[in-house]
Chain A
Amino acid sequence: MQFSGRRRKILSNPQTELYGHCLQFYVQPPLENITLTEFETFAVERLKLLKTVENLGVSYVKTSEQYSKKLESEFSNLNFPYRAAADDKKVQNGPTEYEKRRKDHISHFILRLAYCQTEDLRRWFIQQEVDLFRYRFNDLLPKHKLEFLHRNNLQYDTISVEEKKALAEKLINSSYAVSGITVEDQDFYKVPFQDALDLVRTRKVYLKAGYVYIPHQDIVTIVLNDFRTRLSKALALTARSLPAVQSDERLQPLLNHLSHAYVGQDYSIQKSVGKISLEQIDSLSVKSYPLCMRQLHQALRENHHLRHGGRMQYGLFLKGIGLTLDQALQFWRSEFIRGKVDADKFDKAYAYSIRHMFGKEGKRTDYTPYSCMKVILSNPPSQGDHHGCPFRHSDPELLKQKLQSYKISPSGINQILELVKGMHYQLACQKYFELTHNIEDSAFSLNHPNQYFIESQKLLGGGREIKREMDAPQRAQENSATRGSTVARETSANPSQDLAEMTEDLDSFFQDA
């Protein structure tokens, strides 16, 4: 891209070719000159679009109707090309289809510049662009899909009719979307399983000897894989040429601003470091923890141990709410040594990873507390694990019992379970927040456990809470009470109650006089 003030006329007109289809593979970077204002508007609007993609992806199933509807309206609000408009009609007062496609093209490449800079930015950008592309590709009419494949030279191996016949039963049983008729009518593509990981992961495809057999209707998977691979390669290349762009003092601040503006807060840098004392944690876990963290805290107190996934999720959260490294070490050590781990073993086997979380060991990366999306989507809990999001990973029946034991009203519980059923986990969590904080409408949209905590503290006036130490007798009381609550889940109908009550009592010690 050139950013000189003068506009050069381009003689041959490659744009018609470039913008011949409403969807692009973004192979060619834009060659024209654009003004800085346009540069900025385009970039900001694409970011808005990507941000919408991210938010919707958390609240809705990506193939659901609501998801499409919401995204569709965002497309038209922001004037991005949506669905193949048959001809370039001039919509009243709006930009032409050509202008929209141009914007789609240019804005994508601008964001590549802003988002190629670090691993995290790249990952975020690729994820959103891939989701966006999936939505747009799925939305195309079949003939436009074919046209798109053709235009971009995307060819994949198909299997013969005989092979199809031989495998028919297996193919039908591999995906609920495939029937006998589909097998007959559709082409099946045979590609290495590495090119269709999403289908492999979810077991939605037939897999044999390292190859997957994908019906034409699912071709989006292969195309997406291509899209993702190319984009990630392109970003790596862009990153290498970045120093040249960064030396441009008009662009540099703009790009930085863009990349910071929309990734959302990461909660890794806390203003409140050192404002919390370890003795407050039990009480905070009842008042201000989201369910996921409360569950981890409780499991830790009961078992004096957490497995890796739990240590990471909870440990980073604790860092995020302001524990210092020393506090964190003390916190984990004091709990672990009450279980099977002695102090020596703790220092050898666990202290390292805690220091690591705080960026004091190894790669020195400052680990960021997990967002809801990360908790919900990655690393689901397995045997012996307590991490994850209770709204996503608990059996509804157990969730219900838990909510009952936390004294949520039956109608509240129903509302929460409804949201869970609709897979709106974060909304369910937000409802839980409203119910436990006695407010009608929380004025934030929940996407991070640490955000939950901060909002809760704001409401409870905890922001002002000052660090104070408990005196010895009370601490002893706390310990014995916690130990008393070490009941196996099976044997107690209401295992969480003891702890909940105990900590509620403790609450009174922290109340401002």
Chain B
Amino acid sequence: MPSSDYDPASLPDLLPLYYRRLFPFSQYYRWLNYGGVQKNYFQNREFSFTLKDDIYVRYQSFSTQNELEKEMQKMNPYKIDIGAVYSHRPNQHNTVKSGTFQALEKELVFDIDMTDYDDVRSCCSAADICSKCWTLMTIAIRILDRALRDDFGFRHLLWVYSGRRGVHCWVCDEAARKLSVAARSAVAEYLSLVKGGEETVRKVVLTDPIHPFIRESLTVVEHYFSQYALQEQNILSNKESIDKVLALVPEDILLKDLLQHFQTEKNPEKRWGRLKALAKNKQAAVKKGQYFEKEIMLQYCYPRLDVNVSKGVNHLLKSPFSVHPKTGRISVPIDLRELETFDPFDVPTISLICEELDRPRKGEEEEEEDETKEKENEKDVAERRKIRDYKRTSLAKYVKYLDQFLDGMARSWKGELLRKSDLQKDF
């Protein structure tokens, strides 16, 4: 599906349509209300809107789903960010005594942006992405998702395509939402392996023993490395990229050996094999770990987190289902069961889904209506129409996935609510 059919100039015309007929308000509210387990959780949540001409309005908040809907339909934001749950309603932050208005909770979030990989991808740079480097995002998701679940015990992870060149993760567990700033930064640092800025060449340094977390992560990287790094990024195929890799090899003797080998051996797999063998010898020879081949793999493939985004409770992050103004793509949740086939260029643009709305309806709708009749009777007509509307577009499958995600969370709220009411009975 060509994204070229999206024209940024059409955004002002499309947004009203999108917010009126397509934006999944009900799921959105259901998410951020978290089952109503905590009072005022939705009401005290900060939203911020970026309007036309980069006008940025912070500290928006809404008491009901309806109010949120009305306001978004009125303002038609180019971009929506979600902030923290505060001690007071954010739209009244000026009226409370200074110092008392505080960010209390927020999902633990992660932001991975392809621009942070510019020194290790040869296919594109800056804001550009292609299917080759997208593998980096797949690897990042695999590694972080595993660690957040297995190591940290979180269960409700919503992965979202940012609409352009990266992915976000929203960890929605109650325990995650309640983490302190110190805890968030500890988690983020536990998960960070690639360290150092423009002044560092060797960005991954492994020491003995290799922590189980790193082992697990390496397993993921190894799975993709050959296809991705050796075949697609050609990191061992031309002089320039070879030099970059070799800068990470610790010793001159090994370097010489490798260079000689590369003179005759052109196959990148075999070249890598040689490098690995040298590393292995090295390991046997010295007791202290020499893990340079692992370090290279990690430096090229390991997820690069923007730690600052994860640290702050009050940091804002682009909301799911926000539109990316440059690409027109919707920021959609990613179903990890289909991660390997997820293609950012397949993600619908606002122009596409608006166009789909205008297509003549097909018969299939009647059936669906039967199915959901009982439920729908309770909702008002407008609501019903909206549901039908998004179902007619390519947005449907993403909204459906969000629904499933929310069902999963609802099961845990139910437990929580039961527990609370049990407690009440005791008194």
> A363 touching B98 by the CB < 8 A rule?
yes
Chain A: CB-nearest residue to B188: A201
The answer on a CB contact under 8 Å between B308 and A379 is yes
Contact status B198-A299, CB under 8 Å: yes
Q: Is the CB of A388 within 8 A of B209?
A: no
- Report how far A172 CA is from B195 CA in the complex, Å: 25
Whether B308 pairs with A206 at a CB distance below 8 angstroms is no
**Could you tell me the distance between the alpha carbons of A388 and B199 in the complex, rounded to whole angstroms?**
10
Cα of A170 to Cα of B216 in the assembled complex, Å: 11
Docked pose: A60 CA to B98 CA in angstroms? 39
Residue contact A394 to B212, C-beta cutoff 8 Å: no
* Residue A4, interface by CB 8 Å: no
- Determine the distance from Cα of A17 to Cα of B42 in the docked complex, in whole angstroms: 51
User: A349 CA to B55 CA in the complex, in Å?
Assistant: 9
Residues of A within 8 A of B54 (CB): 344-345, 348-349
Give every chain A residue within 8 A of B214 (Cβ-Cβ). Answer: 203
Contact with A200, one of B55, B186, B194 (Cβ below 8 angstroms) = B186
How far in angstroms is the closest Cβ of chain A from B420?
21
Name which residue of chain B comes closest to A489, CB basis: B198
The answer to whether B213 touches A207 (Cβ under 8 A) is yes
- Give the contacts of B201-221 with A (CB-CB under 8 A): 201-202, 207-215
Whole-angstrom distance between the alpha carbons of A295 and B118 in the complex? 21
* Interface of chain A: mostly helix, strand, loop or mixed: mixed
- Flag whether A309 is at the interface (Cβ < 8 A): yes
Give the most central of A202, A363, A384, A398: most B CB within 10 Å. Answer: A384
A197 engages B182 (CB within 8 Å):
yes
Q: A348-B54, A381-B197, A395-B199 are in contact. Are A210 and B209 (CB under 8 A)?
A: no
Q: Of A176, A201, A208, A295, which one neighbours B189 at CB under 8 angstroms?
A: A201
Q: How far is the CB of A225 from chain B (nearest CB, A)?
A: 10
Listed stretches B11-19, B147-155, B331-339; interface member: B147-155
Interface assignment of A193: CB less than 8 Å from any CB of chain B: yes
Q: What residues of chain B lie closer than 8 Å to A385, measured between beta carbons? A: 197-198
Judge whether B265 is part of the interface by a CB distance below 8 angstroms.
Answer: no
Is the beta-carbon distance between A383 and B304 smaller than 8 angstroms? yes
> Is the pair A383, B197 in contact by a Cβ cutoff of 8 Å?
yes
Residues of A within 8 A of B185 (CB): 201
In the complex, which residue of chain A has the Cβ closest to the Cβ of B240? A490
Contact for A384 among B56, B197, B207, CB less than 8 A: B197
Query: Is B119 an interface residue when CB atoms closer than 8 A count as contact?
Result: yes
B308 contacts A308, CB within 8 Å?
A: yes
Residues on the B chain within 8 Å of A349, using CB:
54, 56
Q: Which residue of B lies closest to A171 (CB)?
A: B212
Q: Is the beta-carbon distance between A386 and B209 smaller than 8 angstroms?
A: no
Shortest C-beta distance, A495 to chain B (Å), equals 11
Q: A462 an interface residue at 8 Å Cβ cutoff?
A: no
- Report B-chain residues with C-beta under 8 Å of the C-beta of A308: 308
What is the CA–CA distance of A187 and B175 in the complex, to the nearest angstrom? 27
What per-residue 1/0 map shows which CB atoms of A423-439 lie under 8 Å from chain B? 00000000000000000
Whether A174 contacts B211 in the complex (CB less than 8 A), given A200-B187, A200-B190, comes out as yes
- Residue A479 lies at the interface, judged by CB distance under 8 Å to chain B: no
Which A residues touch B199, using CB under 8 A?
295, 381, 386, 388, 390, 393-395, 398-399
Specify which chain A residues have a CB less than 8 angstroms from the CB of B198 in the assembled complex. 299, 381, 384-386, 489
A41 within 8 A of B: no
For the complex, give the distance between the alpha carbons of A383 and B305 in Å.
9
Given the complex of chains A and B, what is the CA–CA distance between A2 and B180 in angstroms? 36
Q: How far is the CB of A230 from chain B (nearest CB, A)?
A: 15
Query: A residues within 8 A CB of B231?
Result: none
CB-CB < 8 A to B119: which residues of A?
Answer: 383
Asked whether B212 lies within 8 Å of A393 as measured between CB atoms, the reply is no
A173-B209, A194-B179 given; A395·B197 CB < 8 A: no
Is B307 an interface residue, CB under 8 A from the partner?
Answer: yes
Find B195's partner among A193, A380, A398, A489 (CB 8 Å cutoff): A380
Q: A308–B197 Cα gap in the complex (Å)?
A: 13
Contact A207 B308 (CB under 8 A): no
The answer to whether A193 touches B152 (Cβ under 8 A) is yes
Q: Is the CB of A173 within 8 A of B211?
A: yes
Residues on B with C-beta less than 8 A from A202 are 189
Q: In this assembly, does B200 line the interface, its C-beta being within 8 Å of a C-beta of chain A?
A: yes
Q: Which residue of the partner chain B has the closest CB to A208?
A: B151
CB 8 Å contact bits of A233-248 with B (1 = contact, 0 = none): 0000000000000000
**How many angstroms from the CA of A202 to the CA of B321 in the assembled complex?**
35
Distance between A219 CB and nearest chain B CB, rounded to angstroms: 18
The answer, yes or no, to whether A382 is at the interface (CB within 8 Å) is yes
Q: Which residue of A lies closest to B244 (CB)?
A: A490
Q: Is A440 an interface residue, CB under 8 A from the partner?
A: no
Q: B175 near A206 (CB under 8 angstroms)? A: no
Can you spell out 18 A-B residue pairs with CB atoms less than 8 angstroms apart? Answer: A170-B212, A172-B209, A173-B215, A174-B211, A176-B209, A194-B180, A200-B187, A201-B185, A202-B189, A203-B213, A207-B151, A210-B175, A381-B197, A382-B304, A383-B197, A385-B198, A388-B197, A394-B200
Q: Top 3 closest A-B pairs, CB basis?
A: A210-B153, A381-B197, A385-B197
Chain B residues close to A by CB (< 8 Å) = 54-56, 98, 115-119, 150-154, 175, 179-180, 182-183, 185-187, 189-190, 192, 194-202, 207-215, 304, 306-308
Q: A386-B198, A393-B197 are in contact. List 6 more A-B contacts (CB 8 A).
A: A209-B152, A345-B54, A364-B98, A382-B307, A393-B196, A395-B196
